Amino acid sequence: MRAYIRRAVVPAVVLSFALVAGCSSDDGGGAEASKNEPAAEASVEPADAPSEEPSSSAPAAEAPVVKVGETKTWDYGETDDYGQNYKVTSKMSVTVVSAKYVTPAEVDTTNEPEHGQYVELTLTLKNVGQAPADVMLYGMLEWQDAEHAAQDATTLEGVGEGPDLDTTYKPGQSVTGKVVLDVAAKGGTVSYTGTDDPNAEAAFVVELPSS
């Protein structure tokens, strides 16, 4: 009786082990198969074309051109402490009273002009705005013509004689004074480049006579 039971139990154990092994084999194969299956490709939407934004750079502001006997107004402005955020704070006018080509003796100097020709320019500057304006012509006047590139035209000749144009103008105030410039030839233009406007090459331009 004991021998029969022992023989019956052994096949049952073997069968049970085979079933368990089979299940384990099926699970592993299924998992391995799922690993080998290619993943579903995600649909990629085409990116929208970048919108074209308008350029932030403003066009260059044109400076008023003034001839002898004319008066033109020009904007005076300032930037912040970092040299940015320019804004117009006041308005100035310039009148070209006269432009006369002179010799060294006529401006009481023995210095010959380095560029070739002295010109005595008489201007009237006036603050026609609502806030003070600081004007500094010295070192800020450039002469040029069709044949000569822009160059500094300011000199020390005549400085200290008569009213000084380089000053602070309060609203309503004006000064009529002279500056002696050193230019390469008669004619051409003199530009006042003392402006903080990043889009302007000059605040105003004086057109010199040809003789």
pLDDT in tens, 139-150: 999 999 999 999
Say if residue 182's pLDDT is above 70: yes
Can you give the pLDDT at residue 158?
82
How far apart CA 203 and CA 78 sit, in angstroms, is 12
Going by the DSSP 8-state scheme, the letter that residue 136 receives in this structure is: -
Percent of the chain whose pLDDT exceeds 70: 71
Express each pLDDT in 15-43 by its tens digit: 444 444 454 445 545 545 445 555 555 45
When the candidates are 2.60.40.1240, 3.10.20.30, 3.40.350.10, 2.60.120.380, the CATH number that belongs to 65-207 is: 2.60.40.1240
Can you give the pLDDT at residue 198?
93
Give the pLDDT band (50/70/90) at residue 59.
low
Mean pLDDT of 106-130: 96
Can you give the pLDDT at residue 161?
81
Say if residue 49's pLDDT is above 70: no
Contacts of 186 (CB under 8 A, 6+ apart): 101, 117, 119, 208, 209, 210, 211
Say if residue 181's pLDDT is above 60: yes
Say if residue 95's pLDDT is above 90: yes
Which residues are registered as beta bridge partners of 135?
167
Residues 195/202, Cβ–Cβ less than 8 Å: yes
The predicted model scores a pTM of: 0.71
Q: Is 89 exposed, middle or buried, given 0-12, 13-18 or 19+ CB atoms closer than 10 A?
A: middle
Domain range list for the chain: 1-36, 65-207
Can you give the pLDDT at residue 38?
52
Can you give the pLDDT at residue 159?
75
Say if residue 8's pLDDT is above 50: no
